[in-house]
Structure 1
Amino acid sequence: MENKILATVDGREIKQSDVFALMQSLGQNAMQFNTPQGQKDLLNEIIAQELLYSDALENKFDQEEQFITVLEQMKKTLLIQYAANKLMSSVSVSDEEAKEYFDNNKNKFIKEKTVAASHILVNTKEEAEKILEEINNGLGFDEAARKYSSCPSSNSGGFLGEFPKGKMVPEFEQAAFSMKVGEISSPVKTQFGYHLIKVEKVNEARESSFEEVKENVKQQCLSQKQKELYIKKQEELKQKYTVNIME
C-alpha cells in the first residue's frame, strides 16, 4: 500500500503508516478504529500530539532540567534493555545441543498421565443413583447424559475431553484417575453436585521422544545458555568496573 501523506504539522509529515502504527499499538482495542471514522480519529490524535511537540520545542521544554533528568533516566533504561537483548540474542541452540540437553534431562519431559472421561451431573445423590440404575439396565451413558445432565457437556454426551491431574476438582479427579477404561463410577459429590463418571481412555505417564518435545527442549536449553552467559558477563564486568556494596 502506498505510504500516503495524510497531513503536515509544522512542516512534519504524517503518513498512512503512522496511523497504522498507532492503531497496532492499541492491541485489542485496534478493531474499533478500523473504519474510515476510526482512521480519522487516529489521524486527529497524531496531529494533536505533533502540535504538543511543536509547542514543547518552542517553549524549550527540552532544555529544562527536569526534562533532561527524565530523559537521561529513560535513556539509561533503554540502553540497559538494548544491551541485555543484544547479549541474549547472541546465543543460539543447535539441534545437536538440544538433543544432548534432552538426553541429560529426560525427567523434565515426562508426559504425565491423562484421562479422557464423560460425566453426568445432577443435583442429588438420589437422582444420580436412579440414572445409574437406568444405565445398568441398558440406557447408554451418552444418551443418559443428554437426557439428564445439567452440565453443558450434555450436548456432547457428557464428554469432557482429555485432562491431566490438577485440571478438575479434587473429588472428581480422584475418582477418574482411579478407574479403568469403560468403568462407570458410583455418585461422586463435588461442589457442583453429584457426578456419574465414565472413563473413556487412559494414557499412562511415559517418556517423550525428542521429536515430540524438540521445540520445548530448544527453548529450555536456550534459556539455560542465556542464564549462564548473563552470569558470566556479570562476573567479567565486576572485574572491569568498581563495585562497592555499602553495609
Structure 2
Amino acid sequence: MSQLIETGVAYLALKAAQRLYGKAPAALEVAEFERVQSIAQQQHQLETRVLAAPEARDVMVPPATVEAAMQEIRGRYPNEEDFSGDLARNGLEEASFAAALERELKVDAIMEKVGTRAEGVSEMDVDLYYQYHPEQFRRPETRLARHILITINESIAENTRAEAGKRIAVIQARLAKEPQRFEEQALKHSECPTALDGGKLGDLPRGKLFPELDKALFELKAGEVSGVLESELGFHVLRCDAITEANVLGYDQAKQHIRKLLEQKRKRVCQQAWVKGLVDRK
C-alpha cells in the first residue's frame, strides 16, 4: 500500500511540476520542489476520499481507455527508450505509471458522475444571461490584414536603413498599381514568417498591431494598400482585405454557447460542493 501511495504521489508531483513550472521534479529549485510535493500529497489524499465515496461504486475505467491514454502520452516521446527513461527519472515505471493514470481517469469519471446532479439550464436561464451580459456579445470592428516587412539591419548591406527604404518603396509603388499582387509580393520579398501565407496577419480588432500600423490599417478601405510605414521591426506595407463592422451577436447565435457555459458552471459548482462535503467529513 505504501508503495502505491508513493507512486501515486510521484505521478501527481510530475504533473504539478510540469503545470506550475514547466519542469520535471528533479529540475526544480528546493522551494519549488517542496511546493510541488505538498500539492501532490494533498491531491492524493483528496483523490483517496473521492475513490472511497459511495459515488465511486460501479465506476469503471475500461482497459482500452487506459491503453489509449498511455499511447497518447507515449506519442509525445521520440521513442520508447526516452519514454521509459523519463519515467525512471521521476521515480516511476511503466506499470506504476499506468496504475496512476487509471486512478486519475477513475477520479475524473466519478467527478463527471457527480456533475450529472447539477441543476438543468432552462431557456429562461439562457435568455436572462443574454439580457444581463450584453458586453459579452458585442463584437468590435475588425480588419482582415496582410503585410510585407523589410527589416532594418545596418550590418547587412541590403538591409541598411537606406537600402531597406528603397526596397520597400519599390514594392509599395508596384502594389499601389496592382494590389492584387500582394500575396505574390509578400512571398517573394517579405522578411516575416507570414510571407509563407501571403503576408496574412489575420482578422484583427484595433490595438493588436504597433500603433503606427494599427492607425493606418483602420484608415484603409477594403482592398486598399497603405503607404510605407515604419515600426520597430522595420518598414511595412499593409493591405486591408476586408472589413467586418462592429456588431452584436444575436440571441439565436449566442444561445448554444450560453447554455454550454451555464451547464459547465453549474457542474463545477455541484462538484466543488460535493468535494467540500468529503473534506468536511474528516
The equivalent residue for 1:90 is 118
The equivalent residue for 2:189 is 148
| Alpha-carbon distance, 1:215 to partner | 2.8
Structure number with bigger Rg: 1
Q: Give CA-to-partner distance per residue, 1:60-95, whole Å, 9 cap, x none.
A: xxxxxxxxxxxxxxxxxx8xxx79984784222123
Q: Give CA-to-partner distance per residue, 1:31-59, whole Å, 9 cap, x none.
A: 66999xx9xxx9x8428999xxxxxxxxx
The equivalent residue for 1:103 is 131
Aligned partners of 2:143 and 2:203 also within 8 Å: yes
**Structure 1 runs of 4+ with >4 Å offset:** 17-20, 30-35, 47-50, 82-85, 222-231
Matched positions, count = 184
Q: 1:160 aligns with which of 201, 215, 218?
A: 201
CA RMSD of aligned residues (A): 4.4
* Change in 2 beyond 3 A, CA 1:33/1:172: closer
* 1:29 partner letter: R
The equivalent residue for 2:167 is 127
The equivalent residue for 2:217 is 176
Q: Secondary structure at the match of 1:200?
A: strand
Amino-acid identity (%): 22
* 2:189 partner letter: Y
The equivalent residue for 2:95 is 46
Unaligned runs of 5+ in 2: 1-61, 88-92, 100-106, 152-163
Unaligned runs of 5+ in 1: 1-16, 51-77, 242-247
Cα distance in 2, alignment partners of residues 118 and 213 from structure 1: 30
Aligned partners of 1:23 and 1:30 also within 8 Å: no
* 1:93 partner letter: V
The equivalent residue for 2:244 is 203
* Change in 2 beyond 3 A, CA 1:174/1:27: farther
Aligned partners of 1:118 and 1:200 also within 8 Å: yes
* Change in 2 beyond 3 A, CA 1:178/1:88: farther
| Alpha-carbon distance, 1:104 to partner | 3.0
1:136 counterpart = 2:181: no
| Alpha-carbon distance, 1:201 to partner | 0.6
